[in-house]
């Protein structure tokens, strides 16, 4: 890649049935947010998986997206999922090894919702499968029948842990986030640092201080109208800066 080339940003896709066809899908909001950092490239969730090293040789950053599906619990020795839980084994085959390889290689990663959970699982952590069923925890799910704008409106505050990435980015000590999930981090993976928590103590954001590159994961959805939210815009600006720096090093 030349020094003047636009960074190439991978965007993880889901494997979903669209009508009669098996399809690779990703929400437009993720693609547009990734485009703030560079040229977005959708990464298909193929049945046979993809070669992580071949992908990383060409990418300057990766956005690991949210999804209607959940990480299959076999990946963290969890109990079988409740009936009706949506899974995406093809996506698991794409994202979990790719996350491990990207973190090790220093390729910047921004992990959102399912991507946040994938980061924790890929590095050896575990998940709560139904946070709303746990004593003392909030119901973090969106109102199912509400309009999209209401589903993505702020639901609760998060408190920022001092001394971390969020503080260095100049984010406020507390700010409001949306909430559209039922799974959440249970056992935090070794090497990850808590950046923010919800009022019930649930981990809402993590970083990885010892990683050779930019690693940030958030449980909420900063990609939703990110240009209108100062916190979201700062997160994507930090990711953009990391991707540009990675592209320059690889030039």
Instruction: Kindly list the catalytic residues.
Output: 113, 221, 223
DSSP for residue 185? E
Dist CA 67 CA 65 (whole Å): 7
Strand partners, 24: 15
Dist CA 82 CA 65 (whole Å): 23
H-state helical runs in 106-229: 114-122, 148-151, 165-168
Euclidean distance between the first and the last CA atom of the chain, given in angstroms as a whole number = 5
Concatenate the DSSP letters of all residues of 76-119 into one string: GTPPPPPTT--B-HHHHHHHHHHHHHHHHHT--EEEETHHHHHH
Secondary element (H or E) of residue 75: none
Measuring CA to CA, how many Å separate 105 from each of 95, 108, 111, 122? Answer: 15, 9, 16, 15
Of 93, 247, 119, the C-alpha closest to 189 is 119
DSSP for residue 164? S
* 120 phi-psi bin (left φ>0, alpha ψ -120 to 50, beta other): alpha
> What does the radius of gyration of the chain's CA atoms come to, in whole angstroms?
17
């Amino acid at each position: 890649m030349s020094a003047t080339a636009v960074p190439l940003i991978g965007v993880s896709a889901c494997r979903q049935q669209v009508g009669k066809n098996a399809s690779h899908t990703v929400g437009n909001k993720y693609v547009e947010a990734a485009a703030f950092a560079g040229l977005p490239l959708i990464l298909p969730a193929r049945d046979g998986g993809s070669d992580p090293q071949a992908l990383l040789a060409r990418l300057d950053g990766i956005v690991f997206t949210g999804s209607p599906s959940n990480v299959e619990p076999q990946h963290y020795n969890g109990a079988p999922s409740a009936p009706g839980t949506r899974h995406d084994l093809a996506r698991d085959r794409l994202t979990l090894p790719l996350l491990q390889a990207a973190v090790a290689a220093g390729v910047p990663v921004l992990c959102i919702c399912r991507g946040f959970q994938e980061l924790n699982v890929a590095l050896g952590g575990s998940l709560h499968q139904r946070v709303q069923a746990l004593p003392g925890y909030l119901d973090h799910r969106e109102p199912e029948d509400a309009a999209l704008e209401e589903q993505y409106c702020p639901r609760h505050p998060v408190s920022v842990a001092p001394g971390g990435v969020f503080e260095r980015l100049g984010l406020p000590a507390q700010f409001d986030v949306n909430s559209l999930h039922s799974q959440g981090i249970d056992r935090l993976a070794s090497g990850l640092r808590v950046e923010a928590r919800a009022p019930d103590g649930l981990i809402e954001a993590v970083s990885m201080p010892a990683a050779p590159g930019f690693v940030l994961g958030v449980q909420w959805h900063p990609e939703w109208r990110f240009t209108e939210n100062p916190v979201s815009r700062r997160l994507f600006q930090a990711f953009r800066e990391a991707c540009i720096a990675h592209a320059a090093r690889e030039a």
